[in-house]
Structure 1
C-alpha cells in the first residue's frame, strides 16, 4: 500500500510527551538526517558516508516514488526520528514476501539522543506503530495498514528485542540486497491485534482472552457463503435435492436454482463426474417470494439453509439442535481460519512450498510438515458440519485446534497397574517404550525419576503404576470430574506435564512430537462431540491394536508389489487403557457402546520423520484438496512445482496411492480408510513418490474369510464382492479423487475425462501385472470389478443427519450405511466393451 500524498501531521500521546509525524521536506531536513545517519548507532543503515546533498537526493527520491514515503517525527516539537514506509509488494520485498492487502513496510531511524533519554525508542516505536496501523482517510489520521512488515538484520539483537516488544513475529529469514548492501534479514510482521497486545501497545483489554476477534461480519459472511456453497454441492451430490437450471431472464448459462418453501437459492456451478458440484460461493443469492412486490433479497446463512431444508433432511427433532450447534462451530472455525489466513498467521500455498523447498535437515522437514498440517482450512471434504468440537471453549479452541498450530504438553497420569493394561508390538518392551537409563523413550530419565519420586512421596510404589498420557482438556473436563473417585483413591495420580511439546493434528486427538519429531505420535481420548462421534478412545479396542498393526505391517512388508510401490504403514506400537472405573463394571444398555468407557486410553504411533531419505518431504494427503485464502490450490501448485506434465504427475500419485490400495483389496481382501487425513504423502521435488497409511487399529478391515490370528479376528468384516469394491469406489473415488479431479479441472490443469482415464489405466495395469487376481476382465463376475459401469452411492452426510451423536455402529459399520441409488463409474469400462483374458 502507498503512503498518502496529502501533507498532514499525525499526533499521539506517549509516556514521554506528544509525538507527531509529518512528511519529510528534503531541502529542510537533509542536513539533520545526514547527521543521524553518520552516527555509529545508525551503522545498520549503511548510509553513513553520504554527504548532505546525497541525503537530500535520497529523501527527494522517496517522496517522489509512488510506493514509498519518508516521515519526520518530533517529540514535543523536537525532531527525534525518521521513518520510511513502503509497499512491500512492490518495493524491496516483492520477491521474498507473500504480501497481503493492507501490508505496509517500515524502517525506523531514531536520532542518537544527547544526553541519552530513557524510554525514547519505546515511545518512538509506539508512535510509529500507531501511525502505521490507525485508520487513514482524513487529515491527521494514520496510514490504515492492517500489518506492518519489517526486515532487520538477523544479527541486530537490539532491534529484534524492540520489534518483539511491539508484537512483531518472525516469519522466516530471507536474503536481501546485493554486494556490500546484502544482508540476511528476519522478515517479520505485526498485525493490529499483535501490536495492541504487545508491551508497547495499548495492552490486552480487560477480559481480552474472551474476545472473539474472528467473529466479524466480514469473516462470517465469507464463512456462511463457503458453507452454503458446500452444503448445496454435497447435499445435491447425495441426492437430497436436485437443483434445476435457472431459466430466469438474464440468468448465466451455468446458473441453477433451488426452490424451497417460500425461499429460492440461485447460484452458478460446474458439474463433473460422480455428480460432483463445484458451486461458486460468491454467486449464491437467497431470496424470499413477496407476492406482487417480487423477490426480496435475504442474507446467505448456512444455519437458515438447514432450517429451510429440514423437511428434506429430516434430522430427528431431538438431534436437530445438536447438528445446528456443530454447524455453528464449523462456521466459527471457518471465520477464525479466514482471519488467520488474511493476517498471515497461516502461510499461503506459495509460502508453504517455499518453506518446503528451503527445508534442510530432519527438523526443518518436520517443521514444514507441520506447517502444512496446520494450514488445512477445509476439514473433511464431504461432510458439511465437519468442525463441531462441541465441548471446546474459546480458549480451548485457541490452544488445541489443529489449524492454530500451537504447541502443547500432555499431562501424565500414574494409573494403578491392577486396573490398567499396556499392549505392545512384538518388537517393543515396556522398559524400551517408556525409556531406560541413558536411553530415552517416551519419557526422559529426569521425567521417570521425577514421576517415581512423586508417587513415593504419596506412599506408593512406582512399580504398581503405569504411566498414561492424557490431553489437558480431558483431565480438566472429564478425568478430574467424571473419575473423581478414582483420583481420590489414588488409582489415578496426576504427575504433571511432560517435557515434550506436541502439535495437534487434523484428527485433533492425535499429537505430533515437535520436541523430538522422530519419536512417536500420541493419540489420546478427547471426549468432545465432533462430526458425528464423541472422540473417545476405547481401552478394549486398544488391547488388540498393536497386534493388529503388527499383522498388517508384516503383510505389507511381505508383499513385493507393495514394497515396490513404496507403500507403508505407520504402526501403532503401544496402547494403554484404564478400566478400573465403575463405568466399566456397569451393564451396557441394550448392548450399546458406553462413551464413559472411552475416556482413559492412549496409543503411540510411529512417526514418518524417522524413515525419510534425503530430499524427501512430508505432507498430509488432505493438502491436495486445499485452497488458500487467495484460491490457490496446493495440488495445482505441486504439479507446477514438479516440472512434469499434469498427466505424469497424476500417474505418479495414482501409482503411490491407488495402485497399492487396489492391490491390498484384490490380493488380500484388505481395506483401509484412505481419506486425506489418514495418509501421509512422501514427496520429492513436488511429486508423490510413496504413501504411508496410518490409523490402522481402528479403521482397517479384512473383507473376506481368509485365516486370521485370534487377536486380529476383530477386524474381519466379511461382505460380498460388490460391497468389497466400495472400499475403493466410496473411500477413494468418491471420497478423494472426485474432489481432486474437480480442482484440477477447475484450474485448467487436467480435464476430468483424462483424469479418470488415468485412473482406469492404473486399475487395468494392476490387472495385467497380476493376472491371478480377480478383478476386471473375463472373471470379473466372480470377483471385485473396479471397472464396473456403476456402483452403490454411499452417503456420508445422510449418516450424520440421521444420528448426529453416532453416525455408525462401529461394531457393524456395513449395516449402518445409507445408499442413494447408484453412481456412474467414471473409470468404468466403455459400454459394450470388456477386456478378456
Structure 2
C-alpha cells in the first residue's frame, strides 16, 4: 500500500516529489496546522509538541504513513495515507475492501496563488497511490461542512456515497478508483485546451461552399426540383441565372455522385463565375417555393451549415484510419456531415458563435447542465417498470454532496426538497428560455434555480442528447433545446414524456422477446425515466400545441457501454458515411482493418441493421427512424456484430396494426396508405442511407453498385427463406416490387422550415415526387 517516494511532472506546477514526512519538516507543518483553513484537521488548538508527538505516532505506525509534497526544497502539501481496515472509527462506519487506501491532504498556505494548485496536489497524491497499486480504491471522509474539498474530490473522480460519523466529526464517505481518476484528469486537461476560433477562413469557405453546392444539386435533382442532363460525358443543370456543369456518376435511386472538383457555374452569358451556394438559393429560392421570411431563414441555416463545415475542416483533422480505431465519443465529435439528405442540416438558429463553440457536437466540448427544483404540483416523473423509482434514479445521477447542497439551498428559502423534483436543463435553455419565459414560475417558487451539477457532458450529433463524460456508465440525458434546426424547434414535449417510458417498455418487450432479433443482437435502448414541467401559462387549450409547451422536459436513456467487451467497439452508424479531410472513408478503414471482403463485411452489417428492421416490419408492423445518428453499431475486429436503436419514444410507430395496445402506448398507432408502409425501409434505409454508402464504396472501387444492391437483395431473400411463417406478409408487402413512392425530405424543409412535419399526422405531411425504381427489384436480381 505504501511507498517511500514518487515524482511526477504536473501541467502547471511542474516537477514535484512526494516523500515520507521527516521530523525536520514538522516546524513548517505545525504552522500550517494552526492556520484557520486547517480547522477541519482538529489540531489548531494543540501545542507544537502535541502535533509533533501525533505525527511521530503516525511515522511509527505500519498502517498509517505521513508524506509531504515538495518542489525545490519547498513544502507544498502534507499527505496522510492509512489502511481503513486498521482504523476503528472507519471500520465502524463501513466495510473496508482489500485494496482500500485512506487519504488526507493539507495544502500549504496560499501566500502566492498558483493556477490549479489544489487540483494538481491531489492529482500528485492519487498518481502516487495508483502507480504503487493500480487496483487501489482511494477512500476519503471529508468533513460534511468542507465544501471546497467536496468540489475538489468530485473533480478528480471521487463519488460520495453516504454520511458517516467519525467520533465528533460528521463526514461524507467517498471513493475513487484508477479508471475514474484517469478519466477525470483527462477531462480536466481537455477543458484547458484552447479552441481555434478563427475557423471561417477563405480556403475552408471555398471548400465548404463547393461541397454544399454539390450536395444541393445532388439532392434537388434527386427530388426532381432540378433536372440534370448528360451532354458528352458532362452533366449540366440549368438554373435561374445560368447553369452548372460537372462530371459525375448516375446511380440508382435517381442519385448523381458528383465529382466535386469538376463543378463549375456559368452565367447566362456563358461566363464562368465563382461558386456561391447562398447566391444560388437566393436566385433559385422562389422557384423552389422559398420567399420572404422562409427564404431568409433558410439562408441563415445555410450560412450556419457552411460555418460549421469550416470548423470541422480546421479542427477535425484526424484521418479516417485513425478515427476508426477510437471510441464512440471521439467518433461522434468528428463526423463530417449532419443528416446526409438535408442540405441545410446544421442551422441551429438561436446559437451564437460562443454557443456553437460550447455546445455543438462537432466541437466536442464538455459542459455541465443546470439543475432546478420543480414543484411536484407542476412536474411529473415517469419511469420504466424495469428501473427504480425517482429517489433511486436521482441518487444515481447526483453525488450525495450535491443533493445535500441542493436541499440546503431550498431550506434557505424555507422550502422542502420533498415537495420538489430535481430536474436538469441545458445551460443554453436556462440562459435563453427558462430564465425569461419561466420568470413567473421562478417568482412563485414553483421552479427554483439550484445551479450547475458536477458531471461533464458532451453533446451528441442529435444535439439535445448528452453523454455523461464524467461517468460513462451513467445514462444518456436528453433535454429540451429551443433552437431551430432542420425543420423543427428542438424542444421536448411534456405530454410525450409522460408516456415515453411505457412506450419504451412495450417496444423493449417486443424486441427482447423476439428470437430473430435476439439472434442478430438488435437492441432497443430504453428511455427509462422522464420529467416534464407544465407551465400553466402555456398549457391553455387556446394556445394550442406550441413550442412553449416543449421548453422544459428531459429523459434518460440506457447507455450501451456496460454491454461492451474489451475487444468490441461502439460507433455511430453515421460514421459509415464519414470522409476525412483527404476524402478517405471510415467504412473503407474498417473494411481494411477487418480483413474481410467488401461483400462479406456488408453481409455482416446488413444482418445487424437491415434485417432486424425488415423483420420488425414484417413480423410486428413496427418501424423506427433508423438514420445514422439514431443508431449505434457494435463492432468486433472492425466487423458489425450488433446494433442499438435509439429515439424510441418520439420516433417508433406501429403501422396500420390491429394489435391491442395499452392506453398509454396507443400514441404509436399510425394510419397511412398501405402502399406507403414499406417506405419505412425504402425511404429511411435505402434512400436516406444506403444511397450515400454505396456511392462511397463505388467511388473507392471497393464494390460495384450492382454488387452492393445484389448483396442487399440476397440478405433479405435469405431472411425471408429462413422465416416461412411470414410468407403471407411477404406476399402482401412485396419487398422486390419494381418501384416505390419517392418521399422527399428537402421538399418538407423548403415547404416549412420551422415545422416541416405535423407530429399529430406525420404520414399526412409526406411530400412525394413520383416514384423511384427499386434497386432490389426482382426484375433486376430474379
TM-score (norm 2): 0.74
Deviations 1:683-725 (A, max 9, x none): 0011000100010000000002211111110000033432111
Give yes or no for the alignment of 1:809 onto 2:762: no
CA distance in 1 between counterparts of 2:268 and 2:524 reads 56
The corresponding residue for 1:239 is 224
Choose the corresponding residue for 2:321, options 347, 350, 363. 350
Give yes or no for the alignment of 1:789 onto 2:738: yes
CA distance in 2 between counterparts of 1:302 and 1:739 reads 21
1:348 is displaced (CA, Å) by 1.8
Choose the corresponding residue for 1:275, options 247, 254, 262. 254
**Larger displacement relative to structure 2 (426-435 or 267-276):** 426-435
1:432 is displaced (CA, Å) by 4.9
Give yes or no for the alignment of 1:381 onto 2:356: no
3-state SS, counterpart of residue 830 of structure 1 = helix
CA distance in 2 between counterparts of 1:408 and 1:262 reads 46
3-state SS, counterpart of residue 403 of structure 1 = coil
3-state SS, counterpart of residue 602 of structure 1 = strand
Give yes or no for the alignment of 1:315 onto 2:290: yes
Choose the corresponding residue for 2:499, options 541, 544, 547. 544
CA distance in 1 between counterparts of 2:417 and 2:401 reads 15
Give yes or no for the alignment of 1:434 onto 2:413: no
Deviations 1:433-478 (A, max 9, x none): 434xxxx511121111111111111110110100110000000000
CA distance in 1 between counterparts of 2:192 and 2:344 reads 36
Give yes or no for the alignment of 1:823 onto 2:772: yes
CA distance in 2 between counterparts of 1:310 and 1:549 reads 41
CA distance in 1 between counterparts of 2:192 and 2:256 reads 45
Deviations 1:345-375 (A, max 9, x none): xx22122134x3xxxxxxxxxxx11000001
1:318 is displaced (CA, Å) by 3.4
CA distance in 2 between counterparts of 1:828 and 1:609 reads 39
1:217 is displaced (CA, Å) by 1.3
1:767 is displaced (CA, Å) by 1.3
Structure 1 residues 547, 510: closer, same or farther in 2, change over 3 A?
A: same
Choose the corresponding residue for 2:713, options 750, 760, 769. 760
Give yes or no for the alignment of 1:585 onto 2:534: no
Query: Would you say how many aligned residue pairs link Structure 1 and Structure 2?
Result: 594
Choose the corresponding residue for 1:416, options 375, 387, 392. 375
CA distance in 1 between counterparts of 2:331 and 2:540 reads 43
Give yes or no for the alignment of 1:509 onto 2:464: yes
Would the aligned equivalents of 2:535 and 2:549 in 1 still touch at CA under 8 Å?
no
Would the aligned equivalents of 1:776 and 1:786 in 2 still touch at CA under 8 Å?
no
Matches within 5 A, 1:744-783: 744-774=697-727, 780=731, 783=732
Matches within 5 A, 1:137-156: none
Deviations 1:211-249 (A, max 9, x none): 9511221111111000000001011111111111234xx
3-state SS, counterpart of residue 418 of structure 1 = coil
Choose the corresponding residue for 2:688, options 704, 714, 735. 735
The corresponding residue for 1:336 is 311
Deviations 1:475-525 (A, max 9, x none): 000001111111111111111111111100001110001111111000000
Would the aligned equivalents of 2:438 and 2:535 in 1 still touch at CA under 8 Å?
no
Would the aligned equivalents of 1:767 and 1:775 in 2 still touch at CA under 8 Å?
no
The corresponding residue for 1:39 is none
Matches within 5 A, 1:154-169: none
CA distance in 2 between counterparts of 1:618 and 1:775 reads 37
The corresponding residue for 2:489 is 534
Matches within 5 A, 1:676-695: 676-695=628-647
CA distance in 2 between counterparts of 1:339 and 1:539 reads 39
The corresponding residue for 1:664 is 616
1:304 is displaced (CA, Å) by 1.1
Would the aligned equivalents of 1:271 and 1:277 in 2 still touch at CA under 8 Å?
yes
**Larger displacement relative to structure 2 (307-316 or 540-549):** 307-316
Give yes or no for the alignment of 1:284 onto 2:269: no
1:198 is displaced (CA, Å) by 11
The corresponding residue for 1:325 is 300
Would the aligned equivalents of 2:282 and 2:295 in 1 still touch at CA under 8 Å?
no
Choose the corresponding residue for 1:630, options 582, 585, 591. 582
Deviations 1:261-292 (A, max 9, x none): 331211111111111111122211112233xx
CA distance in 2 between counterparts of 1:375 and 1:307 reads 31
Would the aligned equivalents of 2:338 and 2:346 in 1 still touch at CA under 8 Å?
yes
CA distance in 1 between counterparts of 2:291 and 2:771 reads 25
CA distance in 2 between counterparts of 1:568 and 1:577 reads 26
Deviations 1:612-670 (A, max 9, x none): 12311000000000001010100111111100011100000000001110000000000
Would the aligned equivalents of 2:381 and 2:390 in 1 still touch at CA under 8 Å?
no
CA distance in 2 between counterparts of 1:309 and 1:747 reads 33
Give yes or no for the alignment of 1:396 onto 2:367: no
The corresponding residue for 1:296 is 271
Choose the corresponding residue for 1:713, options 659, 663, 666. 666
Choose the corresponding residue for 2:200, options 215, 218, 223. 215
The corresponding residue for 2:679 is 726
CA distance in 2 between counterparts of 1:482 and 1:567 reads 41
Choose the corresponding residue for 2:598, options 621, 635, 646. 646
Structure 1 residues 265, 773: closer, same or farther in 2, change over 3 A?
A: same
Choose the corresponding residue for 2:329, options 362, 370, 378. 370
3-state SS, counterpart of residue 678 of structure 2 = helix
The corresponding residue for 2:4 is none
Would the aligned equivalents of 2:594 and 2:637 in 1 still touch at CA under 8 Å?
yes
Would the aligned equivalents of 1:533 and 1:804 in 2 still touch at CA under 8 Å?
yes
Deviations 1:96-150 (A, max 9, x none): xxxxxxxxxxxxxxxxxxxx9xxxxxxxxxxxxxxxxxxxxxxxxxxxxxxxxxx
3-state SS, counterpart of residue 226 of structure 2 = coil
Give yes or no for the alignment of 1:674 onto 2:626: yes
The corresponding residue for 1:228 is 213
1:547 is displaced (CA, Å) by 0.2
Choose the corresponding residue for 1:454, options 406, 409, 416. 409
CA distance in 1 between counterparts of 2:406 and 2:625 reads 38
Would the aligned equivalents of 1:767 and 1:776 in 2 still touch at CA under 8 Å?
no
CA distance in 2 between counterparts of 1:423 and 1:636 reads 43
3-state SS, counterpart of residue 441 of structure 1 = helix
3-state SS, counterpart of residue 516 of structure 1 = coil
CA distance in 2 between counterparts of 1:222 and 1:542 reads 42
1:431 is displaced (CA, Å) by 4.3
Would the aligned equivalents of 1:666 and 1:775 in 2 still touch at CA under 8 Å?
no
CA distance in 2 between counterparts of 1:198 and 1:812 reads 47
Would the aligned equivalents of 1:420 and 1:580 in 2 still touch at CA under 8 Å?
no
3-state SS, counterpart of residue 490 of structure 1 = coil
Would the aligned equivalents of 2:360 and 2:463 in 1 still touch at CA under 8 Å?
yes
Would the aligned equivalents of 1:570 and 1:692 in 2 still touch at CA under 8 Å?
yes
**Larger displacement relative to structure 2 (757-766 or 672-681):** 757-766
CA distance in 1 between counterparts of 2:345 and 2:728 reads 35
Would the aligned equivalents of 1:412 and 1:494 in 2 still touch at CA under 8 Å?
yes
CA distance in 2 between counterparts of 1:718 and 1:812 reads 9
User: Which consecutive unaligned segments of at least 5 residues does structure 2 have?
Assistant: 1-71, 73-115, 117-188
Deviations 1:773-821 (A, max 9, x none): 14686xx2xx211111100000000000000110100110000001111
CA distance in 2 between counterparts of 1:699 and 1:552 reads 12
